[in-house]
Chains A and B, each alone.
Chain A
Amino acid sequence: MPYSDKVMDHFSNPRNVGSLDKNSADVGTGIVGAPECGDVMKLQIQVDSEGRIVDAKFKTFGCGSAIAASSLATEWLKGRTVQEATELRNTDIANELSLPPVKIHCSVLAEDAVRAAIEDWKRKNGRAGVVAGQAEATKGA
């Protein structure tokens, strides 16, 4: 199955691979997916006192689209406010990467990972419940 150039680019040169300190108060961690389903994404954000995402990192076990979707998500998150980040939708990722229908779930997973990371950060900073749902997906790293 031929992938779009953008998927191949993110897959071959993934941006923002790595881990942030999950115990740090300014870091939110989201881990979503399950190994037995073939997809696990860990996405982390570091947020400054203004509520702006200053760094984002990911690690993903999954197919090429899953890796590309998480790489793209981290790229988009950096420099945005947490509020702006909550507006990221899986369709934005799917469209940007021209994902085929069978790979749409990879973009859904990326959106879930972003929300879970935000939720984790909010919980740590006493703002839990501001983003509805998704909290159960966060299990901590």
Chain B
Amino acid sequence: MAVKLPIYLDHNATTPLDARVLEAMMPYLTTDFGNAASRNHVFGWKAEAAVENAREQTAKLIGAMAKDIVFTSGATESNNLAVKGAAEMYRENGNHIITDLIEHKAVIDPCKRLEQAGFQVTWLKPDRFGRVSASQVAEAITDKTILISIMAANNEIGTLNPISEIGAAAKQRGVLFHCDATQAVGRVPIDVEAMGIDLLSLSAHKIYGPKGIGCLYVRRKGPRVRLVCQMDGGGHERGMRSGTLNVPGIVGLGAAAEICQAEMAQEASRLTALRDRLHRGIASALDYVYLNGHPTERLPNTVNLSFAYVEGEALMMKMKDVAVSSGSACTSASLEPSFVLRAIGVSDELAHSSIRFGVGRFTTADEVDYAVGQVIRGVRELRELSPLYEQAREAARSQAGA
């Protein structure tokens, strides 16, 4: 069977909208356009009912109560609200925050802003697989610690953190635990009760929902978490996020969450098989290929590989028709390679050579096989061009001859 080009293998960046999600959203983009805050007519009631249904669907996916869900514009806003909102609210209790070096920028930058405002931030260094341990977190807690923010899964390498253990460590010392679960939700089981999570960020567009909608889970019981809102206005969402609700987006998030809930177990094993087919297919044909991230404690859909002696952006150009992303500096304006890879001890050279592959719900084995072929061809061609590969081969030859 011929594959349809181009092929999308960048599902950690975003996912396509599931047709079932669009179907659920359509009425709220057309006939049922009411404002969920309009209390006095049927248009408003319909919108409100749809929002509350979606709140249930979303909460269920993470083991939360519906009332704990605060809808936002996405994970960046959720992270900002969680980190800054908690810091402002609990400042009298202390000024210390614990996070790590490979969080998403939407956690790192709010923490840096808080540092400028006088907060102390401990930046934990993950291990070489990208994991932060519960004991690292526990050791960093002081009497002044008011918030711990650790991601569930890393967006570049897919490594999963031991969230239950970190949650337990936080709970033991009575410190609030925020988890950016944007990459993990819908891909691996997440349960805010079992994992001791007090604040959790997620986004619809990573789980086959629409862009521009997400939520922050804010625990209401045991303990009741309070936040200083970052958006003043009409007092929507328990006063934590003012602004007319994005009804079609919220309905889409709910529908997407419900599908994940129903299909996650089966989908995860299918994606793991595709991910490993991709990895094996490449690694069996090429030498000097290195996995970035944890070999097993990793998202089912993600594999990040470094191809030594080949620059990542050039490789992406070679495999045109296959959409992936790279930790190479040449893909960013900063001229610095991926800070995530550097933080886990990957050399700058190999960081420049990294490619992130992310399979998804609609990825087929034929697409994976096509991508494998493109990668192998691209790496071989670029290594023929690479003075570093030539040097490595010469060094290997002289060593063998010696």
A-side residues, CB < 8 A to B, are 3, 11, 14, 17, 19, 31, 35-42, 59-64, 66-67, 102, 105, 141
| Chain B residues within 8 Å of A40, by CB | 387-388
Whole-angstrom distance between the alpha carbons of A3 and B337 in the complex?
A: 21
Tell me if B385 and A14 are in contact (CB < 8 A): yes
Given contacts A38-B311, A64-B313, 13 further A-B pairs with CB under 8 A are A11-B314, A17-B385, A36-B349, A36-B352, A37-B348, A38-B337, A38-B352, A60-B387, A61-B310, A61-B311, A61-B386, A61-B389, A62-B311
Tell me if B313 and A63 are in contact (CB < 8 A): yes
Q: For residues 337 through 386 of chain B, which have their beta carbon under 8 Å from a beta carbon of chain A?
A: 337, 347-349, 352, 384-386
| Chain A residues within 8 Å of B313, by CB | 63-64
Tell me if B385 and A63 are in contact (CB < 8 A): no
Q: For residues 187 through 206 of chain B, which have their beta carbon under 8 Å from a beta carbon of chain A?
A: none
| Chain B residues within 8 Å of A35, by CB | 348-349, 352, 388
B329 at the interface (CB under 8 A from A): yes
| Chain B residues within 8 Å of A61, by CB | 309-311, 385-389
| Chain B residues within 8 Å of A62, by CB | 311, 314, 330
Whole-angstrom distance between the alpha carbons of A30 and B373 in the complex?
A: 34
| Chain A residues within 8 Å of B310, by CB | 61
Tell me if B347 and A59 are in contact (CB < 8 A): no
A60: which of B317, B330, B385 is its contact (CB, 8 Å)? Answer: B385
Whole-angstrom distance between the alpha carbons of A113 and B314 in the complex?
A: 19
> CB-nearest residue of chain B relative to A11?
B317
Main secondary structure of the interface of B (DSSP, over half): helix
| Chain A residues within 8 Å of B389, by CB | 61
> CB-nearest residue of chain B relative to A31?
B387
Task: Name the distance in Å between B368's Cβ and chain A's nearest Cβ.
Answer: 24
17 residue pairs of the A-B complex, CB under 8 angstroms, read: A14-B385, A17-B384, A19-B390, A31-B387, A36-B348, A37-B329, A38-B311, A38-B328, A59-B385, A60-B387, A61-B385, A61-B389, A62-B330, A63-B314, A63-B328, A63-B330, A66-B311
Number of interface residues of B (CB under 8 A): 23
Whole-angstrom distance between the alpha carbons of A63 and B331 in the complex?
A: 9
Interface centre among A11, A38, A62, A105 (most CB of B within 10 A): A38
Whole-angstrom distance between the alpha carbons of A11 and B389 in the complex?
A: 18
Tell me if A59 and B330 are in contact (CB < 8 A): no
Task: Name the distance in Å between B347's Cβ and chain A's nearest Cβ.
Answer: 7
Q: For residues 300 through 348 of chain B, which have their beta carbon under 8 Å from a beta carbon of chain A?
A: 309-311, 313-314, 317, 328-330, 333, 335, 337, 347-348
> CB-nearest residue of chain B relative to A38?
B352
Task: Name the distance in Å between B190's Cβ and chain A's nearest Cβ.
Answer: 35
- 9 tightest CB-CB pairs across the interface, nearest first? A36-B348, A42-B387, A38-B352, A63-B330, A59-B387, A35-B349, A63-B313, A61-B386, A64-B317
| Chain A residues within 8 Å of B311, by CB | 38-39, 61-63, 66
| Chain B residues within 8 Å of A59, by CB | 385-387, 390
Task: Name the distance in Å between B90's Cβ and chain A's nearest Cβ.
Answer: 42
Task: Name the distance in Å between A79's Cβ and chain B's nearest Cβ.
Answer: 23
Whole-angstrom distance between the alpha carbons of A43 and B29 in the complex?
A: 59
Interface centre among B314, B337, B349, B389 (most CB of A within 10 A): B314
Task: Name the distance in Å between B330's Cβ and chain A's nearest Cβ.
Answer: 4
| Chain B residues within 8 Å of A36, by CB | 347-349, 352
| Chain B residues within 8 Å of A60, by CB | 385-387
> CB-nearest residue of chain B relative to A65?
B330
Task: Name the distance in Å between B40's Cβ and chain A's nearest Cβ.
Answer: 51
